[in-house]
Amino acid sequence: MANLFIGNLPYSFDDQKLTDLFAQAGTVVSAKIITDKYSGRSRGFGFVQMSSDEETKAAIEKFNGFQVDARPLVVNEARPMQPRN
């Protein structure tokens, strides 16, 4: 199972809205909006994990460029976090 990076999300999105949206492409194992640690406000991106590789590919095809609140989503496989220097 691949983890998906979801970018350019509306700031109004929460974990549940993200889950509901990606459930259209299959079974969502987890969905997490990344928030600012001080304000608690969405940072405009998150991560979704689908239950199979086929559903992961379907989600990328369906939602990459998909318009939500006039914002085109960026959806691709998440890369491992790089160490900061």
Find all residues with CB under 8 Å of 38, minimum gap 6, and list them: none
Q: Which CATH number fits domain 3-77: 3.90.1170.20, 3.20.20.70, 1.10.12.10, 3.30.70.330?
A: 3.30.70.330
Domain boundaries, the chain: 3-77
Q: Walk along the chain (85 residues) in steps of 10 and give the mean pLDDT of each run.
A: 92 95 96 95 96 95 96 93 76
Contact between 75 and 64 under an 8 Å Cβ cutoff? The reply is: yes
Q: Which of 58, 34, 35 is nearest to 46 (CA)?
A: 34
Contact of 63 with 73, CB cutoff 8 Å: yes
This prediction's pTM: 0.90
